[in-house]
Structure formats: structure tokens, C-alpha cells
Chains A and B, each alone.
Chain A
Amino acid sequence: MHNENQKQNTKLIKEVSLAADAVNPNQKTENDGVDRRGFLACMAWAGTGMLWTVAGGTLGSMLLPRRAGAADADSLISKGSFSFVQISDSHIGFNKEVINQNVVGTLKQAIARINAMPVAPDFVLHTGDLTHLASADEFDTVDQLMKTVKTQQVFYVPGEHDVTGDNGKSYLDRFGKNTKGQGWYSFDHSGVHFIGLVNVVDIQQNGLGALGQDQLAWLQADLKDRSSEMPIVVFAHIPLWMVYPEWGWGTDDGAQALTCLKRFGSVTVLNGHIHQTVKKVEGRMTFHTAMSTAFPQPEPGKAPKPGPLKVEAGKLNDFLGITDVNYVEGRSTLAVVDSTLS
């Protein structure tokens, strides 16, 4: 299994590197800074960390340097641009001997990776499953740990593990300030519109997530008066697109949300839930899922069940990681770079 994953990691690295070539702002380009080859060809299933950079109409990405401070990452941050980091599925409270008995430790490693970046990210997005069982002490631990991130703000959306026992009340009490409904909200940052959606409170019988009509109506209203030239970043826990519905890896009414976004020139959708990097591009929309900081899950359909994946001893960090996203003013794509904790 591990050798198989190593091959897939190598594949992802190659694909990501292709895209990175096209979005490096130091590179002279006549087009919109997009390497479509790297993304249209890419449907990678792997456990590697990723840095995203968004600019203009399509997506570019590069592999995050293993050591912070590397010149490639630094070069992505230029005047008029900003970066943010996505982390996901920290599952504080999870504890399984053969998988990961120190999820606090691996989250700390992820935070250390962020804090060692050459330029601090403007903010961090946590795309859900902060906790494993949504207990008060688990939420408190996440809250305390995330306060050690060197950034201006941390934005959250819940995962199903954060809302299972009480429909999200504990989550909303702690992280739902200034949100609407079950915790959805939007904000603008340096000309980019960010939308946090909640698709985990009403899990469907087939295991798929759902947004619900109230949230979809709010989304429509939120987007109504916005210029189609404004870059949009949508983040939610369960993928909004159908990654693998057989395991509930998709959102039942996600297509309705995506329809609302169709007129925009640059849409980047960031999700978690499946504990591995998967990306694809459809038209002007780029979809990306992030690794977990706690444990990996199998590739879709490659195991009888989607539960936690046991990996070779000492190799766990190869499958955990963070995602860095970089926006460059005047470009139509965001550059997205995943990096593992190894």
C-alpha cells in the first residue's frame, strides 16, 4: 500500500510542479498565468501537502518547499498579493494506536510549519472536523492551539464530527460569532470574496453533505450584486463536488451552489473531509481538497471502507499536511501549494 501511495505522491508532485511553473509571479507570461495542462490533467489522489496560489481565471499550484524559507515560496509573495493557509480535519480527540495517538502533536507540527513560513499568511482557514467527538475539552484544545498560529485571524467551518451530537450548538457557541444560520458567512479580503459554507448538519441518508434551501438562498443573495470579475473562494468541509458519492464524499445539493457561482471568472473551492489531496478544474472553477493534520483515509474505492488508513510506521507525516494559497493582484488565479508534514 505504501509503495502505491509513494507512486501517487510522485505523480502529484510532478503535476503540481507543472502548474507551479506557470504561476510563479517572477516568471514572464503573456497569458493569464494559468497552466491548464497541470490542472486539467490532474485528478490526483495522494497525501501530500499543497500550497495554492490563485490568480485570474484558472488555477496554478506548486509543491510547498519541505523547509520553510525556501526561495520558491518566498517568491510567490509579491507586492499587492497575499497568502492564506488552509488546514483541515485536525480531529482533536482521535486516538488510535495503529493510526495516530498524538493528533495534538501533528496539529502542532502543522502550526509550526505555518509559523515558519517566510511571510506570515494573512489568515488561516480551518475546513472542519476540528474535533473528533465535539466535546468541550476537544474544542478548547483546538482553540488554544490555533491561537498559537502567527496570523491575523483564523476562520472556521464545521465538519460533521463537530456537530454530530448537538446539531452544532457547541461549535457555534465557540466559533460561530458573526455567522448566519448553522455557521455560514462571507467576507472580503484584498479584493477577493470568501464564502464559508456549512454542509454537515443535515447529512443525507446516502452519507452526502447538504447545504439546504436557506443557505442556498443566502448564497444567491450574497453573490447577487457582486461583479463577475471578483475572484471567489468557497470553503466548506465536505467536497461540494461529487468526489466519490459511494462513500458520501460529495454534497447532495452542491451543484445548486456551483450554479450560483458559474458567472464568476475565478472560483476556487476548498474542502476537507476526505483527508487527501484531490483537485480538478472545470471551466473557471478549481476544486481542491486538503490533507488532514490527524490521519489519512484511503483513496476512493481502494478500500472496503473510507475509515482511517494505517500507514507504515514512521511514515504518517508523509500523509498529513497543510495547504497554502497565494493571491497575486492582477492575476486571475490563486496558486495553491500543498505540503506534507514530513
Chain B
Amino acid sequence: MAAKFLTIIALAAFGLTSLAQPASNPDGHPTGGSQPATGAINGRTLFLRNCAHCHGATAHGDDGPDLHDLGFTDDWIANRIRKGKAGQMTAFAGKLKLAEIAALVAYVQSLK
């Protein structure tokens, strides 16, 4: 019983930690929010699959700009992801679902 109680405390503590700060991958990059559970949308994964070839795997920019400390609102970033920018960035509205865009926004906003 004592062991079970300790396990519950440990899980609760893990949950609080997850909410308090973005989870990190082994490479130190944030995962994009508090959704480490299997099946959850992972902003970092989405970023690597869709954005990294222009913004770089570390999001410090390559063909596209550095995404750290952007200083824009969530809505602004989500809109840019959806619509892109003529001549500069692909529009992702035809590919990414709203929840995926939200996860990407969370990831980008976590880049400091």
C-alpha cells in the first residue's frame, strides 16, 4: 500500500513538473508544451517534420529565419503557419490540423 501511495505521489509530482515547464528532448530542445504522453501532439516532432528544412533543426534559422524570441502572439504565429507568406513561406492550412498548428505555436513560443 505504501509503495502504491509513493507511486501516486511521484506521478503527481511528474505531472506538476510537466505543467510547470516545457518538457525537453535529450538534445535540449523543448518538446512544445506539456504533452509527453504517447499519442499526444508533439510540437517539436511537427517542427522537425515540417519546418526544420527551412528554419534548421535547432530553429535558429537557415533558409528561413531564427524562430527564437519571436515576440508575436499565438494568434499571429498560428495565422502565419496557416497562410504562409507570399514568396517567403509555405502555407500549411492544407496540411496541418488546428490542433497541430496549436502544438507548433506552443513549441515556437517556448524557444528562448
Contacts and interface: CB of A to CB of B under 8 A. Distances in A.
B53 A305 contact: no
B91 interface: yes
A205 B88 CA distance: 23
A248 B52 CA distance: 10
A95 B85 CA distance: 13
A93 B90 CA distance: 11
15 contacts: A93-B87, A95-B87, A161-B90, A165-B84, A165-B93, A166-B94, A203-B50, A203-B53, A205-B48, A207-B48, A248-B52, A248-B53, A305-B62, A306-B62, A308-B63
Contact of A133 (B53, B90, B93): B90
A115 B53 CA distance: 33
Specify the main secondary structure of chain A where it touches its partner.
Answer: loop
Contacts of B87: 93, 95, 133
Nearest to A96: B63
Contacts of A164: 50, 53, 90, 92, 95
Interface residues of A, number: 23
A167 interface: yes
B49 interface: yes
Contacts of A169: 94
A93 B89 CA distance: 10
Specify the main secondary structure of chain B where it touches its partner.
Answer: loop
Interface of B: 45, 48-50, 52-53, 56-57, 61-63, 84, 86-95
Interface of A: 93, 95, 133-135, 160-161, 164-167, 169, 202-207, 248, 305-308
A165 B88 CA distance: 13
Contacts of A205: 45, 48-49
B23 to A, nearest CB: 15
Nearest to A200: B53
A165 B63 contact: no
Contacts of A306: 62
B53 A134 contact: no
Given A93-B87, A248-B52, 14 more contacts: A133-B84, A164-B50, A164-B53, A165-B92, A165-B95, A202-B49, A203-B49, A206-B48, A207-B53, A207-B57, A248-B53, A305-B56, A305-B62, A307-B56
A160 B53 contact: yes
A207 B84 CA distance: 21
B63 A207 contact: no
A165 B91 contact: yes
A215 B53 CA distance: 23
A95 to B, nearest CB: 6
A204 B91 contact: no
A294 B26 CA distance: 36
Nearest to B49: A203
A169 B94 CA distance: 9
Nearest to A248: B53
A244 to B, nearest CB: 13
Contacts of B88: 133
A204 to B, nearest CB: 7
Max chain A C-beta neighbours (<10 A), residue from B49, B57, B63, B87: B63
Contacts of B90: 133-134, 161, 164-165
B32 to A, nearest CB: 13
A133 B89 contact: yes
A41 B91 CA distance: 44
Nearest to B92: A165
A133 B57 CA distance: 19
Contacts of B62: 305-307
Nearest to B86: A135
A200 to B, nearest CB: 10
Nearest to A303: B62
B78 to A, nearest CB: 15
Contacts of A203: 48-50, 53
A307 B94 contact: no
A133 B64 CA distance: 12
